[in-house]
A and B are shown apart, each in its own frame.
Chain A
Amino acid sequence: MLSRRDIFKYLAGGGVGVGTGLLLGEVNQRPLETLLSTHIPPEDFSPGMDTWYNTLCRMCPAGCGISVKVREGRAKKIEGNPNHPVSQGGTCALGQASLNALYNPDRLRAPMRSDGEGGFVESSWEEAFAAIAPRLGAMQSAGMGSRTWILTAGLLSSGEEALDKFREALGANVLRLGLDTPATELAAAQAMYGFSGLPYYDIAKADLVISFGADFLGAWRSPVGYSKAYGEFREVGDGHRGHLVQVEPRMSLTGANADEWLPARPGTEGALALALAAELLRHGGSSEELNGWEGLSGALSLDEAAALADLPAERLHALAERMAAAETPLVLGGGAAGAGSNATETLTCVAALNRVLGAAGDYRAAQPGARAPILGAERQSRDLYPRRTTARCRW
């Protein structure tokens, strides 16, 4: 009945089954994971729990307050800090993306030394100090400290003070360079307000904002802070809805949101501002505000300025009328208007227009070391650091 051949067949069947079972067991096994212990744990290290650190975003000079979620010593997520005066809980896309900058493999983690062939090699801080310090010392003892230049972008608070002390000790000069270093805006503020710093534009309470190139909803100065203020500026609850005019050759995000977009020819923004200032003075304004500023004598008429800027003259006349009728007008300058070869003059003219409009307030009271002048409607009364309230939702 059961032949020898059958027995072999059954044994083979069973054997294949056992083999398959072993294989299945091996395949179904969850792969082993390792649990890497820390060497010396960072402060507040607590595996499995979030630790939140409040700090400042450094992706642009605005310095929004952020809270960073840290897990097992690694930054994982960024949120806005609602208690911070500038951003009030907001962040922009750049701030959200700054984790990618942190973990970017190309980020410099050590001083880089030129290898003499156009490349750079990593070196230690000790090597870097040993290479630089004797040469700085030699320059200084030879009385050539003023020939030393420190190249940097903007630093924050204590960093800025340390830089100042370093510069003083060397007798060196500081050259600020960077995409976001507003050299022309600083120069114009110095010329018109006598203040070494940047003014704060309080657009929230303005009823007319004319922006010469300043893309404050996109990337200019402090986009998160200005976006908040823009919300108040546009608020319609109490019949106050600000009118926004954007003067710039290329339509930016702010230009797209504006009520009027004036595509002036690049470089003519200053002439436009000056012509508007002169026009306003002609219609009952007082040049006292300008305190004998000579620049005004070069003002074109509105029609000439319109021809220069390639704009319809009637739009400029309408704008001048709107400015004269506005209660709390404010003019911003920067961005595209602050980047040409005549940018400092352009921004100085824009600042002069602010003074003619009476938006520059107590700029004369601004002393070196005092906080930046606040330009706008309730210039001195408005707290620079408003508390976040829910009372603003009026509908």
Chain B
Amino acid sequence: MSISVFEAARPVIKGLIIAVLAIVGAYIGHWAHGAMLNDYTPVQPIEFSHEIHAGENEIPCQYCHSWADRSATAGVPSVETCVGCHKGLSEVRDTPDVVKLFDYWERGEGIPWVKVHDTPDFVHFRHKPHIRGGVECQTCHGPVEEMVRVTRRVDLNENLRMPWCIDCHTEEDVANGRDCLTCHY
């Protein structure tokens, strides 16, 4: 009479296989969500096209995001800024999104843009030193001038994390660039 450990362990092995399959499935599901079901490209209240404004018409970024070189935040332009140009642009006045813009203007309301790029609350990212240090906007934001609807690209999303910041800070030999308190304060 032989005693087979393998025979006795068979149900356990079966259970293990199911568990491994479930874990692998979970990884696949999580990845699939990030790749396909993410909201890195949120729908905005007005279908504002950076491709037309920054691309075709070559309006500089800081014409509208004018606090980037002065403040922590780049800022979104006021409705007044949009209308300032658009009231002289009668040829696009009747397109649906410009009509929406003028509706906001007449109601006296701001436009609730949806944030595309956002750092967690424990990270204090400041635009000013980066812009003054000569970092291109596209380095972090991607080629915005080619985007109709602004997107946070998946690879950027993976990259826009602390190791990515630290790599650049090390490469550029930023003063106190590797100090925790430079960003976490």
Q: Do A6 and B14 have beta carbons less than 8 Å apart?
A: yes
CB pair A46 B71 closer than 8 Å: yes
The residues in B between 66 and 111 inclusive whose CB is less than 8 angstroms from any CB of A are 67, 70-73, 75-80, 104-105, 108-111
**Residues of chain A lying within 8 A (CB to CB) of residue B27:** 17, 21
Q: Is B132 in the interface zone, CB < 8 Å from A?
A: no
Tell me which residues across on chain A come within 8 A of B161, comparing CB atoms: none
Residue A179 is within 8 A (CB to CB) of chain B in the complex: no
CB <8 Å contact, A40 and B38: no
Report the minimal beta-carbon distance from B122 to chain A, rounded to whole angstroms.
12
Residues 1-34 of B, flagged 1 when their CB comes within 8 A of A and 0 if not, give 0000000000000100111011111111111111
Residues of A within 8 A of B17 (CB): 10, 13
A151 CB contacts on chain B under 8 angstroms: none
B104-140 residues with Cβ-Cβ distance < 8 A to A are: 104-105, 108-115, 118, 120, 127
A30-71, CB under 8 A of B: which get 1 and which 0?
A: 101111111111000111110000000000000000000000
Query: B28: which A residues are within 8 A, CB to CB?
Result: 17-18, 21
| Known A35-B115, A40-B79; contact A17-B25, beta-carbon cutoff 8 A | yes
Say whether B70 contacts A46, CB under 8 Å: yes
Instruction: Give the nearest-CB partner of B72 in chain A.
Output: A48
Which residue of B has the minimal Cβ distance to A19?
Answer: B29
Are B30 and A24 neighbours in the complex by a CB distance under 8 Å? yes
Max chain A Cβ within 10 angstroms of own Cβ: one of B24, B25, B104, B127: B25
Tell me how many residues of A have a C-beta within 8 Å of chain B: 35
Asked whether any CB of chain A lies closer than 8 Å to the CB of B167, the reply is: no
Contact of B115 among A12, A33, A37 (CB under 8 A): A33
Which one of A6, A33, A34 has the greatest number of beta carbons of chain B within 10 Å? A34
Tell me whether A36 and B112 are in contact in the complex, defined as CB-CB below 8 angstroms, given that A15-B25, A17-B22, A26-B33 are known contacts: yes
Output the residue of A15, A20, A24, A39 with the most chain B CB within 10 A: A39
User: Which residue of chain B lies nearest to A17 when distances are taken between CB atoms in the complex?
Assistant: B25
The reply on B39 being an interface residue by CB < 8 A is: yes
A291 is an interface residue with CB less than 8 A from chain B: no
Q: Does B111 lie within 8 Å of A10, measured CB to CB?
A: no
How near does chain A come to B105, taking the closest CB pair, in angstroms? 8
Residue pair B30, A30 in contact (C-beta under 8 Å):
no
Q: Mark B37-61, 1 if CB is under 8 A from A, else 0.
A: 1110010000000000000000000
> Which residues from chain B sit less than 8 Å from chain A, CB to CB?
14, 17-19, 21-34, 37-39, 42, 67, 70-73, 75-80, 104-105, 108-115, 118, 120, 127
Besides the known contacts A12-B18, A17-B23, A18-B26, 10 further A-B residue pairs in the complex with CB atoms under 8 A apart: A14-B24, A17-B26, A18-B25, A18-B32, A35-B115, A36-B113, A39-B109, A46-B70, A47-B73, A48-B73
Task: Return the 3 tightest CB-CB contacts between A and B, nearest first.
Answer: A21-B29, A17-B25, A25-B33
> 25 A-B Cβ contacts within 8 A?
A9-B14, A14-B25, A16-B22, A17-B22, A17-B26, A17-B27, A18-B26, A18-B28, A20-B26, A21-B25, A21-B29, A21-B30, A29-B39, A33-B115, A34-B114, A36-B112, A37-B113, A39-B78, A39-B79, A39-B104, A40-B78, A40-B80, A45-B78, A48-B71, A49-B70
